[in-house]
Structure 1
Amino acid sequence: MATYTVRQGDCLSSIGKKFGLKWQAIYDHPDNADFKQKRPNPNIIYPGDELFIPDIEEKVETGAPENRHRFRVWEQTAKLRLRLQMNGYPRKNEPFKLEIANTEPIEGMTDGDGMLETTIPVNTKKAKLIVGKSSDEFMLNTSHLDPIDEISGIQARLNNLGFDRGPVDDKFGPITKRAVKAFQRKFELTVDGNPGPITQKKLKRIYSTEE
């Protein structure tokens, strides 16, 4: 048994992989009840959060020694969801290829609103995205997502949904305010640039990992 302090870039799945556990075994453990109440969405945790890590429970399988047995290696995945735009317009129905180290390339098409949705290995930190017939290339940082009530969490979601805020720096300045206004305008909210409760609620709803 151990206590683990969440670091920037962690998610429950990556922490579980580190300790050889499914993330549910950590999140649902009784000793993490306070953490679960604090972070009701398991997809959103924050650096500095503390988690109790239970011991791995051994499981014994029995079978006849003369028979052949097949075991499947369990691999955790995470969801990647992005909204792609060019000059303010969605890059709809365009082919994409996602290149991740030590993994076969993932290929697909964006939908009618420019959304890209796929699954990736849970320990993915960076990926190269190639979009369209022109093969435009983008480097993605897929390692973390801060809570919605943190400026960094708002910035990351805006970026991932195509409302370009630039680097996530946890500072609310004119660039972030402009991105918030663009989001509010798109989803018919009051356009004031203030990422208050109503805007945060809409941002959470649009960002599918939090539904």
Structure 2
Amino acid sequence: MSGDGQPEGKTYTVGRGDSITSIAKQHGYLWSTIWNHGNNAELKSKRANPNQLVEGDELFLPPKGSKGVSKPVDATHKFKIKGEPARLKLKLESLGEVRKNEDYTLAFGDIIVHGKTDDLGRIDEIIQGDVKVAKLMLNNATETYNIDVGGLDPISEITGVQHRLSNLGYECKGDRGEVGDATRKALLAFQRKEGLDESGEIDDATRARLDERHG
């Protein structure tokens, strides 16, 4: 409580795999309530996309108020908790070709969803806000991919570059936050495929093309 008897907010440190939706659901907020609070203005200007928080970022969680609703006594009432659904959006390609109209299975938590990619190879599914990992299965489950739902760092971060490279099939295993041998090999392969200068380094042109290919 503050000095005037009002509840106080608190600071939450973003952990690995956290997303704005998972944090909001865990603590009982709408994600927009957190993101649009004035105390988060500095972080909001730094991370233009709320879905690209970085481990170690600090979010202010505002105080919660209470709301009263008048209802007759001696009766049963149903209350619906409002929330904002999260969406998982993917675009599937293989060797530069769009994987259109392809059957897929998506598993997250205790939910399994079956669907088909659209003409542009896209998947768009509603998921629970606190989901951090989903499993994507293709070709009758002969291809299986673990998708880190809340773990995509901004492309300005080394980890953001590494995650995007890995999602596109250029593995950076063993490297996290540092440009090691695996990351240089992945960068060279990506740059060669995209007709870029094969430097093995994270330059502006590579970041721009990676953002174009992955988002």
TM range (shorter): 0.7 to 0.9
Number of residue pairs aligned between Structure 1 and Structure 2: 206
Among residues 87, 109, 133, which one is paired with 1:101 in the alignment? 109
Matches within 5 A, 1:121-140: 121-133=128-140, 135-140=142-147
Shift of 1:189: 5.1
Per the alignment, in what secondary structure is the counterpart of residue 24 of structure 1? helix
Question: Amino acid of the residue matched to residue 171 of structure 2?
Answer: R
- What's 2:12 paired with? 4
Change (3 A) 1:133 1:11: closer
CA distance in 2 between counterparts of 1:158 and 1:78 reads 24
Pairing partner for 2:171 from 155, 161, 165: 165
Instruction: Give SS of 1:81's match.
Output: strand
- What SS does structure 1 have at the residue aligned with 2:34? helix
Structure 2 stretches lacking a partner, 5+ long: 1-8
The one-character-per-residue Cα deviations of 1:107-140 (angstroms, maximum 9, x if unpaired) are 2112445443323212113333221246433333
Distance 1:158 1:6, change over 3 A: same
Q: CA deviation at 1:74?
A: 3.0
Gaps of 5+ in 1: none
Residue 153 of structure 2 contacts residue 160 of structure 2 at CA under 8 Å; is this kept in 1? yes
Q: TM-score of the superposition, structure 1-length normalised?
A: 0.78
3-state SS of the aligned residue for 1:176? Answer: helix
The structure 1 residue matched to 2:88, chosen from 75, 80, 86, is 80
TM-score normalised to structure 2 length: 0.76
What residue number does 1:48 align with? 56
Aligned to 2:183: 176
Q: Is the aligned partner of 1:116 residue 2:147?
A: no
Sequence identity (%): 35
Deviation at residue 178 of structure 1 after TM alignment: 4.3
Q: CA separation in 2, counterparts of 1:119 and 1:181?
A: 35
Q: Please provide the CA RMSD for this pair.
A: 3.1
Change (3 A) 1:141 1:78: same
Give the Cα–Cα distance (whole angstroms) in 1 for the partners of residues 89 and 213 of structure 2.
10
**CA–CA distance in structure 2, aligned partners of residues 201 and 166 of structure 1:** 19
